[in-house]
């Protein structure tokens, strides 16, 4: 480590512990380091000093639910899987995403067994964002809250955890499983996934609050796209939404929830309710579909013909929405505008919170000493100027980093 190049980023405001502070950022060997130890213990200076010209430095964005983008659908890849995932991974750098969980929606068994073994966890770099593991959204969901999931492939836990293993084929590359906690056999499945350190998210569900609380005691710690594909809030039984204020869950446990801040899927008032009710658990997600990142106009994606009009995706010839296409940087800016929250909170909702939900905040989602040097240069309006992974500039809006 002492022979590695030391980078010193100056003239910047860095996001640390919920505050934007005037402080230099020091990086060595792809890791954020404590400059006092370098100066006093090693008595050496930086090899490269970078003037950031007053910009904000934030941890890189982490998207824990993204179904595809740039014309590629992770649930509909028939060939060249690795190449297509690489394309999405590389393209996300433009929007400040340095880590993500490719998401597979309810699909035939052969899709899981073909795709899951080939979308492997890997470190990011110039070739693309870090893959933290797959988010498997289904097929163990409630058919009455299927959303856009194909009903013919929805399953129950007929043989408990064994059914899950037979369906997915392998859990090696899986990071998150979304399931409906009211399904018979879900208690043991949640416990076993938790024992394997795979995060369980409850969603696409008709569960009442008691079902949700039981799932949390069994190990679940996430809610999939809050308000979408679940029972609406009711004053006598608030359903899964009630987990945000429940006092019948472990006191030391934070319930995290993804929320789509694209101005379409979640009403601004609903965003404000979630933010004011349980800010510590709020995670911004794109839930992006394959049309994300495509230009305005008509596109054929798989068997679906879509049209992007004014930044919104519709089925061609209709006004029927066909999924979210907002990028993560757009979600951050819109969330801040809608809720009136601070810049710091909007950024942490896309960085620290998802990292904490996945149990990786020691190395991702912060600019703390010892963490991975995955970060962004942003202007005061939170537009991405450049993206860095392991201390290497992997995208910039200018001609050079």
In a domain, 230, yes or no: yes
Is 287 catalytic? The answer is yes
| One domain for residues 27 and 151 | no
Give yes or no for a contact between 134 and 119, defined as CB atoms under 8 angstroms apart. yes
Lookup: tokens for 207: 């569960």
Write down how long the chain is.
Answer: 401
CA-to-CA distance for 157 and 164, rounded, in angstroms? Answer: 7
**Residue 71: how many CB atoms within 10 A of its CB?**
18
Asked whether residue 179 falls in the same domain as residue 289, the answer is yes
Q: How many CB atoms lie within 10 A of CB 188?
A: 12
The catalytic position among 211, 287, 329, 374 is 287
Per-residue tokens: 305: 């013909």
Q: What is the pLDDT of residue 250?
A: 95
Total domain count, the chain: 2
Same domain, 139 and 167: yes
26 and 173 in a single domain? The answer is: no
Q: Which domain holds residue 385?
A: 6-58+365-396
CA angle 295, 301, 307 (to 5 degrees): 45
Q: Are residues 30 and 117 in the same domain?
A: no
> DSSP string spanning 87-150?
HHHHHGGGGTEEEEEEEEES--HHHHHHHTTTS--B--BTTB-EE--EEEE-SSS-GGG-TTS-
Question: Two tokens at 141?
Answer: 């969901």
Same domain, 44 and 142: no
Q: Let me know whether 276 and 379 are in one domain.
A: no
Tokens of 117: 């073994």
Annotation: binding site: 137, 148, 204, 225, 228-229, 236, 265, 321-323
Annotated binding site for Zn(2+): 137, 204, 225
Asked, for residue 257, whether it belongs to a domain, the answer is: yes
> Same structural domain for residues 43 and 80?
no
Q: Tell me, yes or no, whether 50 and 66 share the same domain.
A: no
What does 210-237 look like in DSSP terms, one character per residue? HHHHHHHHHT--EESSTTTTBPPP-SS-
Do 336 and 254 sit in the same domain of this protein? Answer: yes
Which 3 state secondary structure label does DSSP give 339? helix
* Residue 401 covered by a domain: no
**Domain of 379: which CATH number?**
2.30.40.10
What's the pLDDT score for residue 282? Answer: 98
List the binding residues for substrate: 148, 228-229, 236, 265, 321-323
pLDDT averaged over 10-residue windows placed end to end, the chain, 401 residues:
79 97 97 91 89 97 96 88 96 98 95 95 97 98 92 96 97 98 98 98 98 98 96 96 97 96 92 98 95 88 76 82 88 98 98 98 98 98 98 88 57
Specify the pLDDT at position 270: 96
Say if residue 41 is in the same domain as residue 70: no
1 within a domain of the structure (yes/no): no
In this prediction, residue 128 carries a pLDDT of: 98
Q: How many whole angstroms separate alpha carbon 315 and alpha carbon 150?
A: 17
Domain match, 133 and 277 both? yes
The per-residue pLDDT for range 194-217, each reduced to its tens digit, is 999 999 999 999 999 999 999 999
Domain holding 345: CATH number?
3.20.20.140
Whole-angstrom Cα distance, residue 64 to residue 18?
Answer: 21
**DSSP label of 295:** P
pLDDT at 301: 64
List C-alpha distances in Å: 337 to 15, 275, 345, 346, 376: 19, 13, 12, 9, 20
CA–CA gap between residue 68 and residue 271 (Å, rounded) = 24
């Amino acid at each position: 480590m002492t022979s590695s190049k030391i980078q010193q980023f100056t003239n910047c405001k860095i996001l640390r512990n919920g505050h934007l502070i005037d402080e230099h950022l020091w990086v060595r060997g792809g890791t954020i380091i404590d400059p006092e130890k370098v100066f006093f213990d090693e008595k050496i200076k930086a090899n490269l000093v970078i003037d950031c010209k007053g910009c904000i430095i934030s941890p890189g964005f982490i998207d824990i639910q993204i179904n595809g983008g740039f014309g590629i659908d992770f649930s509909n890849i028939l060939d060249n899987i690795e190449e297509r995932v690489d394309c999405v991974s590389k393209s996300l750098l433009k929007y400040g995403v340095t880590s993500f969980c490719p998401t597979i929606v309810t699909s035939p068994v052969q899709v899981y067994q073909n795709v899951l073994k080939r979308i492997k966890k890997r470190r990011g770099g110039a070739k693309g964002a870090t893959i933290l593991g797959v988010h498997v959204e289904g097929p163990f969901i409630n058919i009455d809250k299927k959303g856009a999931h194909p009903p013919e492939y929805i399953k129950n836990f007929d043989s408990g955890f064994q059914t899950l293993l037979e369906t997915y084929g392998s859990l090696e590359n899986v990071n998150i499983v979304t399931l409906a906690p009211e399904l018979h056999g879900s208690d043991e499945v949640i416990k076993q996934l938790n024992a394997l350190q795979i995060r369980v998210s409850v969603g696409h569900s008709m569960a009442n609050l008691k079902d949700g609380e039981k799932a949390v005691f069994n190990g679940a710690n996430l809610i999939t796209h809050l308000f979408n594909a679940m029972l609406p809030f009711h004053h006598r039984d608030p359903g899964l939404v009630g987990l945000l204020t429940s006092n019948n869950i472990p006191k030391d446990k934070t319930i995290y929830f993804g929320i789509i801040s694209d101005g379409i899927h979640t009403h601004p008032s609903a965003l404000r309710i979630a933010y004011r009710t349980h800010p510590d658990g709020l995670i911004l997600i794109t839930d992006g579909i394959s049309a994300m990142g495509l230009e305005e106009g008509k596109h054929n994606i798989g068997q679906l013909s879509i049209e992007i009009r004014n930044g919104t995706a519709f089925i061609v010839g209709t006004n029927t929405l066909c999924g979210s296409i907002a990028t993560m940087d757009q979600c951050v800016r819109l969330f801040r505008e809608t809720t009136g929250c601070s810049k710091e909170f909007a950024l942490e909702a896309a960085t620290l919170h998802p990292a904490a939900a996945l149990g990786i905040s020691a190395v991702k989602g912060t600019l703390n000493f010892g963490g991975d040097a995955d970060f962004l240069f942003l202007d005061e309006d939170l537009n991405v100027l450049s993206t860095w992974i392991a201390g290497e500039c992997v995208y910039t809006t200018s001609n050079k980093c």
